[in-house]
Structure 1
Amino acid sequence: MNSSPVFVIVPGASQTPSHYAHIIHLLQARGHGTLTALLPSGGATRLVSAAEDAEFVRSRMILPILDIEKYDVILIMHSYGGLPGSAAARGLGSADRATSGRKTAVLGQIFIASILPHGGNGEDVIALLGGKWPSFIDVHLSKCMQLVSTVL
């Protein structure tokens, strides 16, 4: 296991890795490794679920650092990135990893302006917001449902 953790930055829904250049610079200037990537939902031409983004974060961003590079990870998640990022980290904490004989783990999760849904209660984000979208978000539900039905 290597000594200094790698910071994995999970971008928000409308951000690209380039949006995090300054924080990457600051971390690297202090000797920390960093990794970020464009989520599958970023710029997608089809509907991509948070579960697909979570699987990408887990299999392509976190596990290679933990299991191949042998570094611990600290997640930095911005906005929407908190949903797939925290889901991707499930079961990768120190205690869980130690029970399977692994020495590296996700040591922490940093949320920046992120949605923090209650874990495991089965509610969606809208339910957590009281059952309706915030007033500053203009939602065209019928158009969304049309799009979903054409994709499914």
Structure 2
Amino acid sequence: MKSATIYKIKGIGYLIHSHSKTSIGLRVASEPFINLPEGVDNDVLADAIKTALCNDDSKRIPHPKDWKQADKEFMAKTGLKSSKSLFSPKAKCLLAEETDEQIIFTPTIPAKKPDSGFLFMGEADKVAVLSKASNQEIFSAFELALSRYE
């Protein structure tokens, strides 16, 4: 299944990236990395989401051997100075997955300390839209899923 992560970070904007599977099947962030400012046009945001979902799900990439180096490369590609902004209270995170017929947005919640990152919310919080939907319909589904973020 094609997938991408979408961050909305207050004061920064949107960070969208695709996922690729490593040689052992773990999904990691991959090209394209798209940065958009706050207040971006709805069509531009919907097009960026669709672009991030155009990855080849059958392609495998090498599994990272050095996670610190992989994190440095991720930060360089995102244009962020540190991962703190991704995990701050100002950040919201959604998973987007595309099947043959739908784009499914899954909201997340911040993990509680001592853990870090995001945890997926329940099935009832997911929002689906047809893959062939208009940009406005995709944006509306994205916004609805984002509104379910806690």
TM-score using structure 1 length:
0.31
* Structure (1 or 2) with the greater helix fraction: 1
